[in-house]
């Protein structure tokens, strides 16, 4: 049965002709709002242990991370090809020559067909963009920007260290350079109304992105946000409420954007809230069933390029 949304899994299988999975690596990067360049402590919600798999740890070499990770993913998911995902923290935050050598090392492994690089809008420049442009002539390349929110009030709340104008400048620098562009957003920040969150579907649809990862806000142990939440709890999406909201969000999202993620996965040992008590597969099934029940699909209410450009 054809999916009612633009599936990343289906896109990659069509592109490469086989099962392709990301394999994460942690190469020991940090962030400018963590090392003191802009601020300390990082984003208020961030604990990398909550989303980086156990084989991807900076204490292991790239070789060990990739060989262990690919072996695990082959066995669990029957993957045949791999995208090396530079995931932890800001993976363009370093010397351009060293970055290119690192990316090329990852591409040298058998079975690797490309790279995906997670970064921030204030940690790219023309020299680094040219690296991805060169590599994209040889293999698959995706540059993933953590937008998180299109509202400056929210970026300030989360100690992001840049404004939304920085995001727009980074996308303008990156567009049309031969590599794919991804975006990460967070739904459920206490600084935003549900209507403001929904309006982000129009805004991100106006950006030159190929792929989106949507995260519902989680309260994770060991973060500044966890300390805030324990003192003054705020409303988070309940499971049924989120199913309703994500379907409404998808309806407004451009049908051309590939959806790689619908929600956040956090190990239960690190999760404070929300307590959905649902597996990854159950949540995906719940979203697909809700789309089916409403006889709707991604992009059904997409308004086109007339929308966009939310300010602050």
What are 17-46's pLDDT values in tens digits?
Answer: 999 999 999 999 999 999 999 888 899 999
In this structure, what token pair is assigned to residue 147? 């937008």
**Per-residue pLDDT for 63 more than 60?**
yes
Band of residue 50 on the pLDDT scale cut at 50, 70, 90 = low
List all residues 6 or more positions away from 70 whose beta carbon is below 8 Å from its beta carbon. Answer: 23, 79, 82, 109, 111
In this structure, what token pair is assigned to residue 19? 């099962």
Band of residue 211 on the pLDDT scale cut at 50, 70, 90 = very high
**HEC states along 104-152?**
HHHHCCCCEEEEEEEECHHHCCHHHHHHHHHHHCCCEEEEEEEEECCCH
CB 217 within 8 A of CB 189: yes
Q: What is the pLDDT averaged over residues 242-262?
A: 98
Q: What is the reported pLDDT for 49?
A: 66
**Per-residue pLDDT for 180 more than 60?**
yes
CB 169 within 8 A of CB 274: no
Task: Output the average pLDDT for the chain.
Answer: 94
Write the DSSP symbol of residue 192: S
Q: What is the reported pLDDT for 41?
A: 87
Spell 229-252 as b/e; 16+ CB within 10 A means b. Answer: beeeeeebbebeebbebbbbbbbb
pLDDT tens for 129-164 read 999 999 999 999 999 999 999 999 999 999 999 999
**What is the CATH number that goes with domain 8-293?**
3.20.20.70
**Signed CA dihedral, 274, 276, 277, 280: sign only:** negative
Band of residue 47 on the pLDDT scale cut at 50, 70, 90 = confident
**Per-residue pLDDT for 307 more than 50?**
no
Strands 219-220 and 271-273: antiparallel
List all residues 6 or more positions away from 238 whose beta carbon is below 8 Å from its beta carbon. Answer: 274, 276
CA distance 45 to 225: 5
CB 299 within 8 A of CB 254: yes
CA distance 59 to 251: 43
CA distance 114 to 81: 9
pLDDT above 70 as % of the chain:
94
CA distance 202 to 306: 9
2 or 288: which leads in pLDDT: 288
Write the DSSP symbol of residue 179: S
Give this prediction's pTM: 0.93
Name the strand (E) or helix (H) holding 204: helix 194-205
Q: What is the reported pLDDT for 59?
A: 75
Using only C-alpha atoms, the chain has a radius of gyration, in whole angstroms, of 19
Strands 180-187 and 140-148: parallel
User: Phi/psi at 220 (nearest 5 deg)?
Assistant: -115, 135
List all residues 6 or more positions away from 289 whose beta carbon is below 8 Å from its beta carbon. Answer: none
CB 34 within 8 A of CB 89: yes
Q: What is the reported pLDDT for 53?
A: 67
Which residue(s) pair with 214 in the sheet?
185
């Amino acid at each position: 049965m054809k999916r009612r949304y633009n599936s990343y899994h289906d896109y990659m299988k069509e592109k490469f002709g086989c099962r392709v999975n990301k394999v994460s690596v942690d190469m020991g990067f940090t962030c400018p709002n963590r090392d003191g360049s802009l601020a300390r402590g990082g984003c208020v919600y961030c604990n990398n242990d909550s989303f980086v798999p156990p084989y991807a740890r900076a204490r292991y070499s790239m070789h060990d991370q990739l060989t262990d990770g690919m072996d695990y993913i082959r066995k669990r998911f029957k993957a045949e090809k791999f995208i090396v995902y530079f995931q932890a923290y800001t993976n363009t935050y370093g010397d351009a020559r060293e970055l290119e050598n690192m990316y090329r090392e990852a591409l040298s492994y058998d079975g690797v067909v490309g790279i995906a690089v997670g970064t921030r809008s204030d940690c790219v420049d023309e020299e680094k963009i040219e690296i991805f442009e060169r590599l994209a002539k040889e293999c698959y390349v995706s540059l993933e920007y953590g937008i998180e929110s299109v509202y400056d009030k929210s970026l300030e709340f989360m100690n992001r260290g840049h404004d939304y104008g920085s995001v727009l400048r980074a996308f303008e620098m990156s567009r049309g350079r031969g590599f794919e562009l991804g975006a990460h957003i967070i739904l459920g920040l206490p600084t935003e109304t549900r209507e403001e969150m929904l309006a982000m579907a129009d805004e991100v649809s106006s950006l030159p992105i190929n792929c989106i990862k949507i995260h519902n806000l989680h309260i994770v142990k060991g973060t500044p946000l966890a300390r805030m939440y324990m003192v003054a709890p705020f409303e988070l999406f309940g499971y049924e409420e989120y199913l309703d909201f994500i379907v409404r969000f998808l309806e407004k999202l451009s049908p051309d954007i590939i959806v790689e993620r619908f929600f956040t996965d956090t190990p239960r040992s690190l999760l404070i809230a929300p307590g959905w008590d649902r597996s990854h597969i159950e949540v995906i099934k719940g979203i697909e069933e809700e789309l089916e029940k409403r006889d709707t699909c991604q992009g059904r209410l997409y308004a086109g390029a007339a929308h966009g450009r939310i300010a602050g």
